Chains A and B, each alone.
Chain A
């Protein structure tokens, strides 16, 4: 009887604290709800935690949470060091292959607006294609050897191609059972804990978004993909979202994966979908 009373009181207390918060962050990791509902749930979660932050402001990441950092950012982007990589990318993009064609011939509209829809589910190869894999596919189609992912040429090209979508909202599509499966796999990776520190991506970028991790403010996952490839002061260089995934995996003490691995492409697919509606701004500038 006494045990039953205690159990009941604990249950009612839990019920009271549960009612104060509509969405628990770990519930967002349900991989059965599908992309559209996922996006809605994420938007609702962040709206609850940041009621006065419009969706567009999520493009600023951590800067949205600190006016001091934001004013430093505004000074820094007066001449974004990433622009050097961008101009390198432009030169590489415009240089014709030995057969006379250029990269522009591989993309609709010569590449303008293409990155806004990436990653995509490629019906032919039945895999998720990213900007990086599409560039190498273009090279192979024109009789050229592939570029190593993470090489400065590849990064420069990725940066330039992404910049051709600047100002356009991210618009990643997830249609059909195979694409949905890849999306859910990306979501599962995002919520799965790993490494020595036993963190998942969500541990920081959902549960602690806007809060401090040592001396830095953690950015929310919504809006993260829109500024990649980005210049990072920590790197003194421009690099891609997948490079950051590799870095995050290392930071939590997990073994990182190779760039453009299946997991990283699916994760990029998931993360980019979560930034749907947010304008692309490449190269970004981050601490």
Chain B
């Protein structure tokens, strides 16, 4: 079923020279509703949003992000990291309804 939630994707270079900047781009589906809007029937749409994004590289913490309802739907996150050693970048998203998703991407450093 194509539920419009989850399905995270990471895009980044698979190899880089040591010391070079690598841009990491990620996208995940999530409604990111605030809990303050009403639907057509007048009922409040419950809050449903990603609360944390935990990013590690070779299992060492890289970025710990707290998100809130201020982030809009289907959040796009991009950041740059310096290529120091080869390894695996792992990203984990958790939302306020218990949903959790993860994705990883390998980097080879010359």
Mutual binders A and B: yes
**Residues of A that sit less than 8 Å from B by CB:** 78-79, 81, 83-85, 87-89, 91-92, 152-153, 155-156, 236-237
Q: A81-B27, A81-B76 are in contact. Are A156 and B2 (CB under 8 A)?
A: yes
Beyond known contacts A87-B7, A152-B2, A152-B4: 5 more, CB 8 A cutoff: A78-B25, A79-B11, A79-B76, A79-B78, A85-B2
Segment 9-50 of B: residues with Cβ below 8 Å from A: 9, 11, 25-29
Chain A, Cβ-Cβ closest to B7: A84
Q: Does B59 contact A (CB under 8 A)?
A: no
Of A81, A83, A84, A91, most B-chain CB atoms within 10 Å: A84
Chain A, Cβ-Cβ closest to B6: A84
Q: List 27 A-B contacts (CB under 8 A).
A: A78-B25, A79-B9, A79-B25, A79-B27, A79-B76, A79-B78, A81-B27, A81-B74, A81-B76, A84-B9, A84-B27, A84-B28, A84-B29, A84-B74, A85-B2, A87-B9, A88-B2, A88-B7, A89-B2, A152-B2, A152-B3, A152-B4, A156-B2, A236-B72, A236-B73, A236-B74, A237-B4
Cβ contacts under 8 Å, B73 to chain A: 236
Partner of B9, one of A83, A89, A156: A83
* Those 3 A-B pairs whose CB atoms lie nearest each other, nearest first: A88-B2, A152-B2, A156-B2
Instruction: Report Cα–Cα, A102/B73, bound state, in Å.
Output: 32
Of A81, A153, A155, A156, most B-chain CB atoms within 10 Å: A81
Partner of A83, one of B1, B2, B27: B27
Cβ contacts under 8 Å, A85 to chain B: 2
Instruction: Report Cα–Cα, A156/B1, bound state, in Å.
Output: 10
Q: A78-B25, A79-B25, A79-B27 are in contact. Are A153 and B2 (CB under 8 A)?
A: yes
Cβ contacts under 8 Å, B3 to chain A: 152
Chain B, Cβ-Cβ closest to A83: B9
Instruction: Report Cα–Cα, A78/B12, bound state, in Å.
Output: 11
Instruction: Report Cα–Cα, A162/B7, bound state, in Å.
Output: 20
Instruction: Report Cα–Cα, A79/B1, bound state, in Å.
Output: 23
A92 touches B76 (CB 8 A): no
Cβ contacts under 8 Å, B72 to chain A: 236
Cβ contacts under 8 Å, B29 to chain A: 84
How far apart are B6's CB and chain A's nearest CB, in angstroms? 9
Query: Contact string, B63-76, partner A, CB cutoff 8 A, digits 1/0?
Result: 00000000011101
Instruction: Report Cα–Cα, A85/B29, bound state, in Å.
Output: 9
How far apart are A149's CB and chain B's nearest CB, in angstroms? 14
Instruction: Report Cα–Cα, A85/B9, bound state, in Å.
Output: 11
Instruction: Report Cα–Cα, A153/B2, bound state, in Å.
Output: 5
Q: A84-B7, A236-B74 are in contact. Are A92 and B27 (CB under 8 A)?
A: no
Cβ contacts under 8 Å, B78 to chain A: 79
How far apart are A6's CB and chain B's nearest CB, in angstroms? 59
Partner of A92, one of B2, B4, B28: B2
Chain A, Cβ-Cβ closest to B11: A79
Instruction: Report Cα–Cα, A81/B74, bound state, in Å.
Output: 8
Of B11, B27, B28, B76, most A-chain CB atoms within 10 Å: B27
